[in-house]
Amino acid sequence: MRAAAVSPRSPGAGPRDHLLVVAVLGVATFTTGIGPRPGGAVWDVLYDVVVYHVPWLAAGAACWLTARTAPREALAWRALATTLVIGALGNVVRILQTGQAGTTPSLLGDSSVAVAYGSLYVALFVFIRARVARFLTSMWLDGVVVALGTTAVGIGFVLGPFLGADGDVSLLQLAWPAADVLLLALVAGVCAILGVHADRTLLLAAGAVAFFAVADAALFALSVAGRYTDGGPLELVWLAGVLCAAVAAQRTTGDPAPRGDDGGVRITWRLVALPLAGTLAALAVLAAGYGDDLPGSAGWLAVGCVLAALARTAVTFREVRSFAAVRQEARTDELTGLPNRRALLESARTVLAGATTARPAALLLLDLDGFKEVNDSLGHGSGDQLLRQVGPRLAPALARGELLARLGGDEFAVLLPDAGLSTAAERARAVHDLLRRPFTVDGVRLHVGVSIGVSTAPVPADDVQELLRCADVAMYAAKTERTGVHVYVPDPTSGSGERLRTMEELRTALVAGELDVHLQPQVAMDDGRVVGVEALLRWHHPVRGLLGPAVVLPAAEQAGLLRPLTDAVLERSLDAVSRWWAEHRVPVSVNLSAANVADLDLPGKVAAQLAHHGLPAAALTLELVEDTLMADPERGRTVLAELRRLGVRTSIDDYGTGYSSLAYLRRLPADELKLDRSLTADVAEDERAAAIVRHTVALAHDLGLSLVAEGVEDAVTAARLAALGCDVAQGYAVARPMPVGDLLRWLAAERQPLVRTA
């Protein structure tokens, strides 16, 4: 049994607790009157009219209060309260008018009982409606089967003996047990719809109805036989139902969570238990009535139950077939028709469960090389055509039992159930050769490469996730080393596993605030004044200590975190500038990746960050390397032009290491060039290096750009670069990168000019 979702107790829970206590005490007190009582009519009135009905009224009040804490069930609780209160009043009226309860006719009493029964139907309907978001055909049929079976049994075995009693029993007397039979049928149908999965509230409410129905049936039988007396043990059955209602009201603290649509297929033994019982009951009625011993109406109800059960069987067949189709779709890649990641994981778990060192299993992880260029050049439709050809290309190479799956994007996997390391490597090379053959897409012959990682189980991978991880490490090595195929062999010094761990830890670091910037000053060659600082990323790793860009940036690129990483560096850099800008007008330089330069939202982000920190655009310089524009030059120039319009300076970093510098200098909006340290390191001794620097300086000045020399490690190099015309120096000869606190003290201290003039 599954309980409804429970919320904290509402302020109305206290009074309901008290009312439950009153109901329990009332039942306990009435129990003392079962059997011999003190003589006199006063005691009978006290027990049968007052004490007996105290629990009814207390439970009714508790139900009414519960309506305030369960808005979606408010009508049900008020209807149940009405049943209890009106039922009690009707019983009192019947006793006062006729001198006893039982089935003695009483117009006002019978009218009250009719209202009470009607309220019970309303309560049950609302209870189930609040718990089922959408009724399925199978749910309705389950309810119909059980309801018809229950009604057939009730009419056949409970009411049947009295229907042929030659008028000894009036229709009015039969009305209440008939209503009880229908009520029990409704309760059974409700439970069938929920699959014996009803929550505590509904079970208690159903228990109350069941106690009432059983007591009414016993009352009817005893009254017809003339053996019913007020104040007997039968009254405790009604009171048990009253207590069920009171407990349900006291325990309910909020609306239940409605059960949503489960796709039409509901599979659990609880769902078939009640419909099966209803069908068996109908068959029992048909068998018992074979010799006309039971009323005809019971037989027809039983026939209806069996027909409904047959209809439910047909619906079940349709649902199972639909479920099989949905399951197949859930395990199939929509684009290629190949098994997807879910199917691969399921099959891999089965394969690894039986893998041994004598009969190992293997996984090939495939990643197409150059697929992005196909999408960018020919469009995503052509890329999809290419992906659809991978399956047919590799299918002839797969043996029986081997599985080819598409994991997503341009990544595929081949599961080899019975293959050792050498066999898997051989199969990987065969797959590699097949995919190296040209593909024809939209009439164009295309060559794409593929990088394949090979891993085996149970050594070194003993579960599915480890098998995938090892294959991913091997695939990345194949892509990096351009070998096509790489077999995973554990190597403690390789650091391959550390790469994946670093990627995941970096995601946490972005949220946990473990990233910071160290700042390296830049000074003017002529007078030594500080003209800027460069922000250099640092990661305060909780275990590995302080990590620099050489560790962080490759992990960020592989994890697709370059944009959020740059956003974090930009925010921390502007935080730092805001601490000294009022006294020192020293801007900060922040490096951009290719992903940032192609981000059309970058100018808006920069403007928002500057406004947030109360800084002008002059406080920021954005650096990019030459290769960052190669992926999408037009978009990059658009983004940089927008930044220039904001007033943000741009700088070309590591100038001289690319292969298209002059072509891009002509059209690239920039304010400065930064000479790479590979050109400045030997400028004091190497005249060829000095000549390159001299002409680069002249080119930069002719284009209106200032020139920053990186890697200035000593005064001799600084003097030579100044003589060649460099404007700004950055390097250890000026200062090492330092935290913002140290930089503030460095800015406030007196310094000698970097280059002394005669």
CB 548 within 8 A of CB 586: no
Please give the Cα distance from 484 to 496 (Å, whole number): 17
At residue 452, what are phi and psi to the nearest 5 degrees? -125, 125
- What CATH superfamily classification does 341-494 receive? Reverse transcriptase/Diguanylate cyclase domain (3.30.70.270)
449: Cβ–Cβ under 8 A, 6 or more apart, which residues? 368, 369, 370, 435, 436, 484
User: What pTM was computed for the model?
Assistant: 0.42
Inter-helix orientation angle 137-153/269-288, to 10°: 40
Ranges 388-392, 524-528, 727-731: which has the least confidence: 524-528
Q: Is the pLDDT of residue 4 over 50?
A: no
Confidence band, pLDDT 50/70/90 cuts, at residue 185: low
Question: The tokens 């670069």 sit on which residue?
Answer: 721
pLDDT (mean) for 66-71: 86
192, 143 in Cβ contact below 8 A?
Answer: yes
For residues 466 and 95, what is the distance between their CA atoms, to the nearest angstrom? 78
Checking if the pLDDT of 294 tops 90, the result is no
**Burial class of residue 507, CB neighbours in 10 A (0-12, 13-18, 19+):** middle
In degrees and rounded to multiples of 5, residue 132 shows phi and psi of -120, 115
Q: Is 52 helix (H, G, I), strand (E, B) or coil?
A: coil
Q: Residue 179: what pLDDT?
A: 67
Q: Residue 293: its pLDDT value, please? A: 62
Q: Is 80 exceeded by the pLDDT of residue 37?
A: no
Parallel, antiparallel or unpaired: strands 411-416 and 403-408? antiparallel
Q: Cβ of 485: how many Cβ atoms within 10 Å? A: 25
**Is a pLDDT exceeding 50 seen at residue 426?**
yes
pLDDT at position 683 is: 87
Prior bond to 295 cis, omega within 30? Answer: no
Quick one: average pLDDT of 199-207? 78
Would you tell me how many other CB atoms lie within 10 Å of the CB of residue 682? Answer: 14
pLDDT reading at 678 higher than 70: yes
Q: How confident is the model at residue 188 (pLDDT cuts 50, 70, 90)?
A: low
What's the number of CA atoms in the CB half-sphere (13 Å) around residue 344?
25
The mean per-residue pLDDT over the stretch 75-87 comes to 88
Tell whether the model's pLDDT for residue 3 goes beyond 50.
no
Q: What is the pLDDT of residue 343?
A: 87
- In CATH, the number for domain 514-746 is 3.20.20.450
Residue 178, pLDDT score: 67
pLDDT given for residue 469 in this prediction: 87
pLDDT over 70, % of the chain: 74
* Residue whose pair of structure tokens reads 């429970």 in the numeric block: 6
- Residue 401's pLDDT is what? 87
Mean pLDDT taken over the chain? 79
Separation CA 559–CA 718 (nearest Å): 39
Give strand pairing partners of 728.
524, 708
Specify the pLDDT at position 492: 44
Range of lowest pLDDT (380-389, 407-416, 655-664): 655-664
Residue 428: phi, psi to the nearest 5?
A: -65, -40
| Res 262: pLDDT | 44
Highest-pLDDT range among 96-100, 139-143, 565-569 = 565-569
Higher pLDDT among residues 300 and 334, named by residue: 334
Expressed in percent and rounded to 5, the helix, strand and coil fractions of the chain are 60, 15, 30
The pLDDT of residue 658 is above 70: no
Asked if the model's pLDDT at residue 385 lies above 50, the reply is yes
Higher per-residue pLDDT: 349 or 147:
349
Location of structure tokens 């079976």: 149
pLDDT at 167: 45
Residue 746 has which token pair? 């460095």
pLDDT of residue 233: 82
Neighbours of 705 (CB within 10 A): 19
Position 147 pLDDT exceeds 80? no
Residue extents of the structural domains in the chain: 12-131+198-261, 136-186+262-330, 341-494, 514-746
Question: 250-286: buried (b, 16+ CB within 10 Å) or exposed (e) per residue?
Answer: bbbbbbbeebeeeebbbeeebbbebbbbbbebbbbbb
CA-wise closest residue to 62 among 345, 251, 239, 314: 251
- Residue ranges of E strands in 525-609: 530-541, 545-547, 588-591
Residue 358: what residue type? A
pLDDT digits (tens, 9 = 90+) for 206-252: 788 788 878 877 777 777 667 777 777 888 888 898 998 889 888 88
Query: Which of the four pLDDT bands, split at 50, 70 and 90, describes residue 52?
Result: confident
* Overall average pLDDT of the 567-575 stretch: 92
Q: How many residues appear in the chain? A: 758
CB distance 620 to 660 below 8 Å? no
Identity of residue 202: L
Q: Which residue has the tokens 């104040």?
A: 231
Average pLDDT on 4-18 reads 55
Whether 352 contacts 468, CB under 8 Å: no
Q: Would you state the structure tokens that stand for residue 182, as one six-digit string?
A: 């229908």
Q: Between β-strands 361-369 and 439-441, what pairing exists: parallel, antiparallel or unpaired? A: unpaired
499-553 pLDDT, tens per residue? 667 777 888 888 888 899 999 999 998 888 999 999 999 988 888 788 888 778 8
Band (pLDDT 50/70/90 cuts) for residue 67 is: confident
Average pLDDT over residues 677-685: 82
Per-residue pLDDT averaged across 358-383, rounded?
Answer: 86
State the pLDDT at residue 453. 92
